[in-house]
Structure 1
Amino acid sequence: MALLSILHYPDQRLHKVAKPVEHIDRQIRNLVTNMAETMYAAPGIGLAATQVDIHKRIIVIDVSDVRDTLHIFVNPEIIWSSNKRKVNEEGCLSVPGVYDGIERAEQVGVRALNENGDLFELECKGLLAICIQHEIDHLLGKIFVEYLSPFKQMQIKMKMGKLNHAIL
């Protein structure tokens, strides 16, 4: 297995819209494994393929306390969301060190394929619902900081520019 490089905001590749996975094969299953390994090593609770510069509709999530409940979603789509919304603090592996309050639906229903190509539906609430919405945003080319004010976005871009420059 291999750790993948995570793109950092404001990298424009994070804005590419992911394409549906046409066929789940060994290559896709290997990608899922590598994404999970990368997410756990980061450490994070969710990762979209877009964040590792692979523009396919795949996300992996593990919000469990002991990090032993990996959820794999291929071609995920939110099929319903509750009217009740809540502001929660979010962060992102593509925007390290930045956290802010984002309003999202408290509950969502998601339909996706698993790593074997089987269709399933899942009702999500709490942290899992937040994470699903956050990661699906990535597949649509949207980063959580884009929900913030233009001023905050500018501050974050400047901070990330300095961080990315320091890494180089």
Structure 2
Amino acid sequence: MSKSSRIAVVAAAVALAAGPALAHPGHLAGAGFLDGASHPLGGIDHLIAMVTVGVYGATIGGRAVLAVPGAFLSAMLAGGMLALLGVSLPLVEPMIYASTVVLALLCVMPMSRHAGVGVVFAAAFGVFHGYAHGAEMPADAAALGYAAGFLLSTAALHAAGVVLGLAIHRLIGRPEAALE
């Protein structure tokens, strides 16, 4: 099996592992920061998308290693603020589900290995993930602590994805991805 075929198989497996994007139970009532930090960890859809953002940044390499996750985090914060302000955003759950598939596919598509493409996709999907986080904030949670929690947790998932992406590229013989 060729290297690109192996990458495609891994990306397909990650995309297929994502179930439907649904509300995520189990938040710690009233905890603010802990509620926010646990939210991205409580759903496979968020986990896959956020780790994949880091893998995608590592796949592009260069400045994208930080720019792609940074765009996601910034847009996620904006999406969370939209939800807290009561702004209606359509198709949130379908877009979260789509993010798991699209981001995984972008990791293996050579034409998507441009920092600008990565930033646009990461930001677009980040808004929807952030909106879901904000919409699901417990009523008694402090918004600032909640936002800090989900940003920190998401950044950690992105970092794990970057490490995973760099390791994958070293294993398949593309160590230059991190140096481009």
Range class of TM-score, shorter chain: under 0.3
Could you say which structure has the higher helix fraction? Answer: 2
Could you say which structure has the higher strand fraction? Answer: 1
